[in-house]
């Protein structure tokens, strides 16, 4: 296996599998620093089932799908937190938007994992290994959770690599190292092989991937059936599919785009908050323009130091993808919150009710300039696409440090 620090070796590996680390648990406790290093389970009441567990809890043998009673027996001191499915879906949407900012070829596999084909992003963002690190940094910075990334030439090997990279890592498996990587593994680690199939293969004496690879395909089909035998033969030789089919998960509807930011220190200064809202509005509308969508509803999310979270939204007369308009509406919503006793730790901007740009008819105003903010935004998009993000920024973002 090649470490992520060898980008030249990853150029033959355009497929990424990005998997959030202990996703549900990480989201549930990210605003509770006192729980970061103690065993935590999500769900799993006295008669319930464990939805997720953080890594300290997993050290006691607790796993998702386990009964709450069994989890308690394994670790009586574990802290149980409730499952906030709305929050999980919101974070998942934001993470998937980060992926689609890198490449349109994103195959959402579940709420917390996806396959990406980054071959078209190499010229703009660097090698696949560098793109993997870029994604990890963005997810951590914007959502304050960690993810692991497998980088390979095929879907199944990328999936295996991300599992071996956990937690919070990147693993590259170049094509010429694929056989050496695969063959020592237990056959149960192959993508799509469940516990029952693993046990059946072990009974047949096929305990490692190498055992399966050395078994003729026809023999495998006689032992386990025609379809499964053919699938196993492909997986064991790394001859899995090399294409990613763009697909959204059931929980990842294309109805909104947004972005959040947690301040490094709590903030009360309106100007600082206004600048951050402008930064977020620019990030969101740039994604919208790439996707050729516009939206009418602007939503603001504010979290105070006591973790009270408030969401406000307003529907505009016309759909927009213009940074200045989204920022102005987000700031108006913020000002409408009135006097604030507490400082603010997080702000977020989201545009909802998205529709294709060709359907987003805009009412023309008398006296409106022929060339205005929409043209300026698209000019900036072209500069960023050619020279990278941050080359051109609003003047308001050139002054003042981010807290």
Classify residue 403: in a domain, yes or no: no
Report the mean per-residue pLDDT for the chain. 84
pLDDT band with cut points at 50, 70 and 90 for residue 394: low
Active-site annotation holder among 97, 101, 107, 113 = 113
pLDDT tens across 41-61, in order? 998 776 678 889 999 999 999
pLDDT band with cut points at 50, 70 and 90 for residue 371: very low
Query: What confidence score (pLDDT) does residue 368 get?
Result: 44
Q: What are the respective helix, strand and coil percentages of the chain, to the nearest 5?
A: 45, 20, 35
Q: Are 118 and 248 members of one domain?
A: yes
Whichever domain contains 212, its CATH number is 3.30.70.270
Residue 272 has pLDDT above 90, yes or no: yes
Q: Are 268 and 367 members of one domain?
A: yes
Give the CA count within 13 Å in the CB-facing half-sphere of 156.
23
- Average pLDDT over every residue of 190-216: 89
* Two structure tokens written together for 89: 């879906």
Highest mean pLDDT among 13-17, 238-242, 342-346, 392-396: 13-17
pLDDT tens across 286-300, in order? 888 888 888 989 999
Cis peptide before 167 (omega within 30 of 0): yes
- Average pLDDT over every residue of 245-261: 70
Whichever domain contains 66, its CATH number is 3.40.1170.60
Residue 264 has pLDDT above 60, yes or no: yes
pLDDT band with cut points at 50, 70 and 90 for residue 66: confident
Q: Are 198 and 260 members of one domain?
A: no
Query: What confidence score (pLDDT) does residue 400 get?
Result: 52
Query: What confidence score (pLDDT) does residue 378 get?
Result: 64
Last residue of one domain, picked from the residues 52, 69, 84: 84
pLDDT band with cut points at 50, 70 and 90 for residue 349: very high
Residue 132 has pLDDT above 90, yes or no: yes
Query: What confidence score (pLDDT) does residue 162 get?
Result: 95
Q: Are 131 and 232 members of one domain?
A: yes
CB atoms within 10 A of CB 50: 25
Query: What confidence score (pLDDT) does residue 205 get?
Result: 92
Query: What confidence score (pLDDT) does residue 364 get?
Result: 44
Report which of 283, 289, 286, 287 is spatially closest to residue 261, judged by C-alpha positions: 283
Q: Which positions ≥6 away from 260 have C-beta within 8 Å?
A: 94, 142, 143, 280, 301, 346, 347, 348
* pLDDT, greater one: 213 or 8: 213
- Average pLDDT over every residue of 144-155: 94
* Two structure tokens written together for 269: 């200064």
269 assigned ligand-binding residue: no
Alpha-carbon distance of 320 to 363, in angstroms, equals 11
Query: What confidence score (pLDDT) does residue 253 get?
Result: 46
Query: What confidence score (pLDDT) does residue 141 get?
Result: 86
Query: What confidence score (pLDDT) does residue 365 get?
Result: 42
Query: What confidence score (pLDDT) does residue 403 get?
Result: 54
Highest mean pLDDT among 50-54, 81-85, 223-227, 246-250: 50-54
Alpha-carbon distance of 196 to 198, in angstroms, equals 5
Q: Are 133 and 235 members of one domain?
A: yes
Classify residue 277: in a domain, yes or no: yes
Whichever domain contains 393, its CATH number is 3.30.1490.100
Classify residue 402: in a domain, yes or no: no
Q: Tally the domains of the chain.
A: 3
112 assigned ligand-binding residue: yes
Q: Are 270 and 311 members of one domain?
A: yes
Q: What are phi and psi of 28, to 5 degrees?
A: -65, -30
Q: What residues make up the domain containing 51?
A: 24-84
Residue 385 has pLDDT above 70, yes or no: no
Alpha-carbon distance of 191 to 194, in angstroms, equals 9
> 113 an active-site residue?
yes
Q: Are 226 and 93 members of one domain?
A: yes
Query: What confidence score (pLDDT) does residue 19 get?
Result: 96
- Work out the percent of the chain whose per-residue pLDDT is above 70: 84
Alpha-carbon distance of 247 to 110, in angstroms, equals 10
């Amino acid at each position: 296996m090649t470490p992520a620090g060898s980008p030249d070796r990853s150029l033959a590996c355009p497929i990424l599998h990005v998997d959030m680390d202990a996703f549900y648990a990480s989201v549930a406790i990210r605003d509770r620093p006192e729980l970061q290093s103690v065993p935590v389970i999500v769900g799993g009441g006295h008669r319930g089932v464990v939805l997720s567990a953080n890594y300290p809890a997993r050290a006691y043998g607790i796993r998702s799908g386990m009964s709450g009673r069994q989890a308690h027996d394994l670790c009586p001191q574990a802290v149980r937190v409730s499952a906030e499915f709305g929050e999980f879906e919101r974070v998942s949407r934001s993470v998937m938007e980060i992926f689609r900012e890198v490449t349109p070829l994103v195959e959402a596999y579940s709420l917390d994992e996806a396959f990406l084909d980054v071959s078209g992003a190499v010229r703009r963002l660097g090698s696949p290994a560098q793109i993997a690190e870029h994604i990890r940094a963005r997810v951590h910075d914007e959502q304050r959770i960690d993810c692991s990334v497998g980088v390979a030439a095929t879907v199944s090997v990328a999936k295996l690599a991300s599992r071996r990279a956990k937690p919070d890592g990147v693993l590259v498996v170049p094509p010429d190292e694929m056989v050496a990587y695969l063959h020592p593994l237990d056959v149960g680690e192959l993508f799509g092989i469940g516990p029952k199939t693993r046990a059946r293969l072990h009974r047949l004496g096929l305990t490692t991937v190498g055992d399966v690879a050395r078994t003729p395909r026809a023999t495998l089909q006689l032992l386990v059936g025609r379809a499964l035998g053919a699938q196993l033969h492909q997986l064991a030789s790394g001859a899995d599919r090399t294409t990613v089919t763009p697909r959204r998960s059931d929980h990842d509807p294309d109805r909104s785009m947004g972005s959040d930011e947690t301040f490094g220190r709590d903030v009360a200064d309106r100007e600082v908050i206004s600048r951050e809202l402008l930064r977020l509005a620019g990030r969101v509308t740039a994604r919208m323009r790439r996707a050729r969508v516009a939206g009418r509803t602007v939503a603001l999310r504010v979290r105070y130091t006591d973790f009270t979270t408030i969401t406000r939204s307003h529907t505009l007369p016309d759909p927009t993808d213009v940074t200045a308009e989204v920022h102005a509406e987000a700031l108006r919503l913020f000002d409408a919150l009135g006097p604030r006793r507490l400082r603010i730790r997080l702000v977020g901007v989201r545009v909802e009710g998205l529709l294709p740009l060709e359907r987003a008819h805009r009412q023309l105003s008398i006296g409106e300039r022929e060339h205005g903010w929409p043209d300026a935004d698209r000019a900036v998009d072209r500069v960023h696409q050619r020279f990278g993000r941050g080359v051109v920024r609003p003047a308001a973002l050139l002054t003042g440090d981010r807290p």
